């Protein structure tokens, strides 16, 4: 993995999800195998791997294979990039944009199921 400036968009998109934040909170205590992260979520393994992939792409975690287990470790330097007031504001806007998009898509799906014919 190359060293580069942290991409705040990717970081905040990764942090916008409560499941991923819970995983990060666990990793603050130290490296953990995927199984230990997946357990408390109750999610299927492929879903957990997708969440981990998002966090790895953002540079928030790194993973390595050790025997038959895959271990995850927090990359604290990436998380530090989110400190500061402007980064905080950015987090608000990223999360807000996520919610707007989810609502717009939900309404579009509703409209498709129940078209308003106006009679």
Partner 1 sequence: MLFDPTTDLEVSRLMRASPDQIWRCWTDPALFAQWWAPRPVVTRDVVIDLRPGGRFASVMDVPDHGEMRGEGCFLDVEHGRRIVWTDMMEAGWRPARTEIFGFTAIVTLTPEAGGTRYVARAMHRTREVAARHEAMGFHDGWGTVAAQLEDLAAGLAVAP
Distance between CA atoms of 106 and 27, rounded to whole angstroms? 33
Backbone phi, psi, residue 54, to 5°? -60, -40
Assess 104 for contact with partner 1 (CB under 8 A).
Answer: yes
Among 96, 113, 117, 119, which residue interacts with partner 1 (rule: CB under 8 A)? 96
Q: Which residues are CB-neighbours of 51 under 8 A, at least 6 positions away? A: 17, 19, 20, 23, 43
Among 10, 16, 34, 49, which residue interacts with partner 1 (rule: CB under 8 A)? 16
Assess 5 for contact with partner 1 (CB under 8 A).
Answer: no
| β-pair type (32-33, 61-66) | unpaired
**Which is nearer to partner 1, 45 or 102 (by Cβ)?**
102
**Under the rule (CB under 8 A), what is the footprint of partner 1?**
9, 15-16, 21, 24-25, 28-29, 76, 79-80, 82-83, 85-97, 99-105, 107-108, 111
């Amino acid at each position: 993995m190359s060293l580069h400036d942290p991409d705040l968009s990717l970081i905040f998109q990764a942090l916008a999800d409560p499941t991923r934040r819970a995983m990060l909170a666990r990793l603050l205590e130290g490296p953990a195998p995927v199984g230990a992260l997946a357990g408390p979520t109750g999610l299927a393994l492929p879903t957990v791997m997708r969440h981990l992939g998002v966090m790895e792409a953002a540079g928030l975690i790194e993973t390595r294979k050790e025997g038959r287990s895959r271990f995850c470790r927090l990359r604290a330097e990436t998380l530090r990039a989110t400190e500061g007031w402007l980064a905080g504001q950015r987090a608000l806007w990223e999360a807000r944009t996520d919610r707007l998009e989810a609502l717009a898509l939900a309404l579009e799906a509703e409209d498709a199921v129940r078209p308003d014919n106006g009679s």
